[in-house]
Amino acid sequence: MFHPTLFRNPVVRKLLMAFSGLLLAGFIVAHLLGNLTVFLGPNGINAYAHHLKQLGPLLWVFRGGLLAAAGIHVSFGLLLTLENRRARPMAYYRNKPQRSTLAGRTMIYSGLCLAAFAGFHLLHFTLRLLGPEITPWLDALQRPDVFSMLVIHFRLAGFVLVYILGMGALYFHLSHGLGSMLQTFGLNNARTLPWFGLLSSLIAALLAAGFAAIPALIFFGFITVQGGAA
Partner 1 sequence: MNLTLHVWRQRSADEPGRMERYLAEDIEPEMSFLEMLDVVNEGLIAQGLEPIAFDHDCREGICGTCSQVINGEAHGPLANSTVCQLHMRQFRDGDEIYIEPWRARAFPVLKDLVVDRSALDRLIQANGYVSVSTGGVPDAHAVPIPKINAETAMDAAECIGCGACVAACPNSSAMLFVAAKVGHLASLPQGRVEAAHRVCAMTEAMQREGFGGCGNHYECEAACPKGISVKFIAQLNREYLKALPGKILGK
Other C-beta atoms lying within 10 Å of the C-beta of residue 42:
21
- 139 within 8 A of 145, measured Cβ to Cβ: yes
Instruction: Tell me how far the alpha carbon of residue 152 is from its chain's centroid.
Output: 23
The end-to-end CA distance of the chain, in Å, is: 58
10 vs 71, beta carbon nearer partner 1 = 10
Quote the least distance from Cβ 87 to partner 1, whole Å: 3
* Beta carbon nearer to partner 1, 8 or 31: 8
Q: Taking the mean position of all CA atoms in its chain, how far away is CA 143?
A: 26
Q: Is the dihedral of CA 74, 36, 134, 137 positive or negative?
A: negative
Q: Can you give the binding site for partner 1, defined by CB under 8 A? A: 1-3, 5-6, 8-15, 80, 83-84, 86-101, 104-105, 107, 176, 179-180, 183-190, 193
Of 153, 5, 19, the closest CA to residue 77 belongs to 19
Q: Which is nearer to partner 1, 136 or 191 (CB)?
A: 191
Q: How far is the CB of 193 from partner 1 (least distance, A)?
A: 6
The nearer residue to partner 1, 15 or 216, going by C-beta atoms, is 15
Minimum separation from the CB atom of position 22 to partner 1 (A): 14
CB of 187 to partner 1, least distance (A): 7
